[in-house]
Amino acid sequence: MDENNIVVMKFGGTSVGTVEKINNVADRAIKANKEGKNVVITVSAMGDTTDDLIELSAKISEKPSRREMDMLLSTGEQVSSSLVAMAIIEKGSKAVSLTGYQVGILTDDTFSEAKILDVGKERILSEFSNGNIVIVAGFQGITEKGDITTLGRGGSDTTAVALAAALDAKYCEIFSDVDGVFTADPNVIPDARKINKLSYDEMLELASSGAKVLHLRAVEYAKNHGVIIHARSSFNNNEGTWIMDTEGFNDKMEQAVVSGVSYDTNQVKISVFGIPDEPGVAARLFSEFAAAHINVDMIVQNVSEKGKAAISLTIKNEDLDIAKKVIEKMKTTFSIESVQIDTDIAKVSIVGAGMKSHPGVASKMFSCLGENNINIEMISTSPIIISCVLRKDRVKEAVKLLHECFTLEKE
Amino acid sequence: MDENNIVVMKFGGTSVGTVEKINNVADRAIKANKEGKNVVITVSAMGDTTDDLIELSAKISEKPSRREMDMLLSTGEQVSSSLVAMAIIEKGSKAVSLTGYQVGILTDDTFSEAKILDVGKERILSEFSNGNIVIVAGFQGITEKGDITTLGRGGSDTTAVALAAALDAKYCEIFSDVDGVFTADPNVIPDARKINKLSYDEMLELASSGAKVLHLRAVEYAKNHGVIIHARSSFNNNEGTWIMDTEGFNDKMEQAVVSGVSYDTNQVKISVFGIPDEPGVAARLFSEFAAAHINVDMIVQNVSEKGKAAISLTIKNEDLDIAKKVIEKMKTTFSIESVQIDTDIAKVSIVGAGMKSHPGVASKMFSCLGENNINIEMISTSPIIISCVLRKDRVKEAVKLLHECFTLEKE
């Protein structure tokens, strides 16, 4: 077998949720192996396992020790890994499952959100030379001291990409229950089209603006290490979406002006009025937010005629309670006139690597929405994404309009 | 804290089966810790976890890979360990849970029945010096290559005793749902008395002849390493049964002539008639049984007048199918006249370290049974145990009679 012919396949929780699906995963791995590939599989925990364990721990401790949570949750992936290995062996091929520790997935000690520092490849290569398909428990690692860590949301995607990088795999296949990345959410836009190829940057913008196929961290890791990702469905054999360096694209035409439309309803807008318009005040606001681990998404600042500033920003819904506390605290040191919180907003974004060289995309977007009486409340732009905040009850209409305006249903 | 003041506490699956019981385990550990002891807790998997995992694997493979089974099953103890640690932390004390690998419980690579080769103590001692109560996942170890193993039946008891030996602990407390070791099964003999102290040998005989409080392997390990065991209930604070070297007994009077009565209904008798009475034939029979991993318990051999031998032996019920195959195979090479299999038998035993220096114990046992018309079909004796095979439907009556004959209800 060709030592360099390595592929990494990642299957999420729904793809290993039943015995039948586990057998399906085993079949895919065996097929690739019989085609001459050295196969590494990374799996998430089965179906609701992780949620069940979290629920159990919540009965014992309201705020359980993060180290112990990682000890607890990492068992979910260990279970699914061993079951996939059993299924492959039952079908007559050779397989071995490995925990994060056994592979040598070294992380820092930020329990529950650990970062990968290094990935060992010796054990996996030695299992390859014994003819084994290797199943690696996703989502987990080990600190230098030997404590078990987990990688946080989307951790199994990151495990897969990190393994692909360490092993110099041809590509990393991320299997899920959808066919790939679409020009828009197919639940909203029935004629949304599957995108064949995307650059890392486009995927990053899509992932951060609402598309849920791939996790941001995994795409970042792939970009930094040049890992080619193939996002595809575990329920059919259709080609999915390839995510790679744009240099890998054969023709420039592939760089669509607009690749897709995404939206995010999990946002809340906070407007702070009457901030003293002096240097450092806005910085203070955002540094307090950062200290409280609140990710601020969009920011708009205006200066009023009275020499006071108004800042509007958006954050995730789940961060609202902490954000309120931060603002209350700031009120005690700064004279802030008033604060408005608006939970009825949503964000719609258009993403496209070709955008940067095509002027007029933004104005086309604003016209498209304006002509249909959709009011834009905030705007943020970067070279390959334009995002608008609008009323939540109009966001799906906006997605539909933009998909039509930019004729995304056509290749 | 006194570094030598170490205790190991082991809690079985029923003792960590619910959140309430986990909190109870945490309370016990914290209490001992506040009394100035360095505490190690070993836990089994919660309630039915192990059975559930076995059931799940059975749906994937009829005969699952033993390596992968160990990978799968070891998660059960990891879950309960982390939950106990969380409970202790929630109550304001410091705790850390460790897997078999993290402790350094090195085993051979006999997956599913691994033997402990070495137990590391550095990590545990370092956690002590950080003020932590240490919870160790029972039942599991790691091979030199880094593969996860499990220790087989009673594995968590063995983990606890092995830790106590490695750490030179004062004693090892094995908590279960009974108050200790009794003079007879309290379900059969209502006035059975809890035994205060037992020698290792007596406990070994009791464990192998049907008493289920402690596992044979753990007692053997304790005997070999001089670990004092305290078998007690997790539901109250009563003193349980201490198992230790007889040298540790304060007065000879403690060496009761008969300490207890045990029985075992999970036995079947096989009688092989008409075996050629020549050297090596019986040996061949038993070596074939050993090769098939069948443990033979009692053996009786007679030579008939015709120069042919008859051998009766008892084995466990679950080994009967394999035993039949072994005998069928033997029939093809030896002239065996006939084989009788009797599944309606049971074994009753009296155990006592003082027996060896008190003649007449056996005859008292036989008279007791005979006077009550209970027929003895096989007898086996050793310095501290006498066992009799009789009809299964009379075994409880026999236990009752022997308990009375030897006045075991009185101290």
Contact A97 B68 (CB under 8 A): yes
Looking at the structure, tell me whether residues B252 and B357 fall in a common domain.
yes
Q: What is the largest CA-CA distance in chain A?
A: 78
Terminal C-alpha separation, chain B: 38
Strands (DSSP E) contained in B58-139 are: 95-98, 105-107, 116-119, 133-137
CA distance B312 to B380: 12
- Do residues A258 and A143 share a domain? no
Contact A86 B60 (CB under 8 A): yes
Mean per-residue pLDDT, A112-134:
96
Amino acid B3: pLDDT: 60
User: Among B149, B176, B203, which residue terminates a domain?
Assistant: B176
Residue A204 lies in a domain: no
In this complex, which of A59, A85, A102 lies closest to B68 when CB atoms are compared?
A85
Cross-chain Cβ contact A83/B75 below 8 Å: no
Q: Do B86 and A22 touch (CB under 8 A)?
A: no
Where does a domain end: A154, A176, A198? Answer: A176
Of A267, A266, A260, A270, which is closest to residue A349 (Cα–Cα)?
A260
Residues B264, B408: one domain? yes
Confidence label for A336 from pLDDT (cuts 50, 70 and 90): confident
Domain of B311, CATH number, reads 3.30.2130.10
A71 Cβ neighbours under 8 A, 6+ residues apart: A148, B78, B81, B82, B85, B97, B99
pLDDT tens for each residue of A136-184: 999 999 999 999 999 988 899 999 999 999 999 999 999 988 899 999 9
B-chain CB neighbours of A97 within 8 Å are 68, 71
Which member of A61, A85, A123 has the closest CB to residue B65? A85
For residue A3, what pLDDT is reported? 60
Q: Quick check: is A158 in a domain? A: yes
A–B: how many Cβ contacts below 8 A? 112
Read off the pTM.
0.84
Same domain membership, residue B157 and residue B255: no
- Residue in B79, B37, B74 with CA at minimum distance from that of residue B54: B74
Looking at the complex, report in whole angstroms how far the Cα of residue A32 sits from the nearest Cα belonging to chain B. Answer: 21
* Same domain membership, residue A142 and residue A26: yes
Does residue B156 share a domain with residue B289? no
Instruction: Give chain B's contact residues with A (Cβ, < 8 Å).
Output: 19, 22-23, 53, 56-57, 59-62, 64-65, 67-69, 71-72, 74-75, 78-79, 81-83, 85-87, 89-90, 95-97, 99, 101-102, 123, 146-148
Q: Which residues in chain B have their CB less than 8 angstroms from residue A78's CB?
A: 71-72, 74-75, 78
Put simply, the answer to whether A86 touches B22 (Cβ < 8 Å) is no
Average pLDDT on A83-112 reads: 97
Are A86 and B57 a contacting pair at CB < 8 A?
Answer: yes
Task: Assign residue A13 the CATH number of its domain.
Answer: 3.40.1160.10
Its ipTM equals 0.83
pLDDT for residue B304:
66
- Of A186, A282, A303, A279, give the one whose Cα is nearest residue A233: A186
Give domain status of residue A238, yes or no. no
Name the minimum distance, in Å, from the CA of A222 to any CA of chain B. Answer: 29
- Asked if A77 and A163 sit in the same domain, the reply is yes
Closest residue of chain B to A85, computed from CA coordinates: B68
**pLDDT for the residue A212:** 74
A64 and A167, same domain (yes or no): yes
CA–CA dist B287, B293 (Å, integer):
10
Query: Backbone phi, then psi, for A65, in 5-degree steps?
Result: -50, 130
Q: Which two tokens stand for residue B156?
A: 């968590």
Supply B199's token pair.
């020698």
In single-letter form, the type of residue at position A386 comes to I
* A87·B61 Cβ contact <8 A: yes
CA distance A157 to A166: 14
Judging contacts by C-beta atoms under 8 Å, the chain A residues touching residue B24 are none
The answer to the question of residue B16 being in a domain is yes
* CA distance linking residue A141 with residue A144, whole number of Å: 10
Distance from CA of A65 to the nearest CA of B (A): 6
Round to the nearest angstrom and report the end-to-end CA distance of chain A: 39
Least confident of A221-235, B196-210, B337-351: B196-210
Tell me the residue length of chain A.
411
Residue A80's domain spans which residues?
6-176
Which helix or strand (DSSP H or E) is residue B28 part of?
helix B19-34
Residue B385 lies in a domain: yes
| Within-domain flag for A206 | no
Looking at the structure, tell me whether residues A372 and A281 fall in a common domain.
yes
For chain B, the domain total comes to: 2
Instruction: State the smallest CA–CA distance between residue B82 and chain A in angstroms.
Output: 5
- Smallest Cα distance from B363 to chain A, Å: 56
User: Residue A333's CB: how many other CB atoms inside 10 A?
Assistant: 9
Contact B178, B34 (CB under 8 A): no
Q: Which tens digit of pLDDT belongs to each residue from B158-206?
A: 999 999 999 999 999 999 888 999 999 888 899 899 999 999 999 988 8
Q: In B116-215, which ranges are continuous DSSP H helix?
A: 122-129, 155-167, 200-208
pLDDT reading at B1 higher than 70 = no
A303-313: pLDDT as tens digits: 666 778 788 89
- B24 and B118 share a domain? yes
Q: Which residue reads 């945490």 in tokens?
A: B26
Q: Which residues of A touch B83 (CB under 8 A)?
A: 56-57, 60, 68, 72
* Structural tokens at position B178: 């009974």
Q: In this predicted structure, which of A374-388, B119-133, B328-342, B387-401 has the lowest mean pLDDT?
A: B328-342
CA distance A31 to chain B (A): 18
Domain boundary among A176, A192, A215: A176
Inside any domain, residue A224: no
